[in-house]
Amino acid sequence: MSESCKWIVKQLETLPFVKFPFDSQMLPNNGIYFFFENGENWGHGGNNPRIVRIGTHKDGNFQNRIKEHFIINDSKMNFTALQSPPHDRSIFRKNIGRALLNKENDGYLRIWEIDFTSRKNRDKYAHLRNIKKEKDIEFEVTKILRQNFSFKFVIMDNEFSRMGKNGLESSLIGTVAQCKQCKSSNNWLGNYSPKNQIIESGLWLIQHLKSNKITKNDEKTFLKSVKKTKEFISN
């Protein structure tokens, strides 16, 4: 796993980092993204940044997925008790908020966990919500993402090849998650997560952590995606 993890990051070195602010229209329609976080370095020697999250999306939704993480449209913050908050549209944001709340031993974590995209849950639990508090947490999550995170991406158009337990995303996550050399730093916010999977893996992820590592065919597919991405960026 360790050599495969190192190989993945080495291929990504040839691609530029994307940092906030950025033009989402310059991103592809389909692909896999790799997030890096300030202060988090890999374990293969030197100070190369380590991957802290890998993700993808449904067909044609890459740009929107990234915008949901960073809240490019600030109007998304104008939610009420009868609407879903931004972290219900981004498990990445939900996980960062979980860690912030758990770090402070804040009982509001119980409300943060409720999925308010469900009309049933909105009707049932709206009276428990503190919207000002939720907005404060969402603003903090946005600040952390914009200041501390950057990402790279590779273009991959075929949704079946990207997603699911047999997709490339799964094997990439499994490879990085099971690398014995890449560990989180002592100061990593994820260490405060209430989710053991995040603490143990050092990734802002819960799914696909035990997936099989990338195969030789996966490597060929990945290299083709990197090449296609370079061409996309240069045009």
Query: Which residue, chain included where needed, has tokens 């490019």?
Result: 72
Question: Coil, helix or strand for 151?
Answer: strand
Q: What is the predicted pLDDT for the residue at 160? A: 86
* CA nearest to 39, candidates 189, 204, 209: 189
Q: How many CB atoms lie within 10 A of CB 221?
A: 19
Specify the pLDDT at position 60: 87
Phi-psi region of 60 (alpha: psi -120 to 50; beta: other; left: phi over 0): left
CA distance from start to end of the chain:
34
Q: Are 97 and 138 in contact (CB under 8 A)?
A: yes
Instruction: Please answer whether residues 139 and 74 qualify as being in contact, where contact means their C-beta atoms are separated by less than 8 angstroms.
Output: no
The whole-angstrom separation of Cα 59 and Cα 82 is: 29
pTM: 0.95
CA distances from 180 to 4, 5, 108, 175, 195 (A): 11, 10, 34, 10, 20
The reported pLDDT for the residue numbered 1 is 62
Low-confidence residues in the chain, pLDDT < 70: 1
Is the distance from CB of 220 to CB of 168 less than 8 angstroms? Answer: no
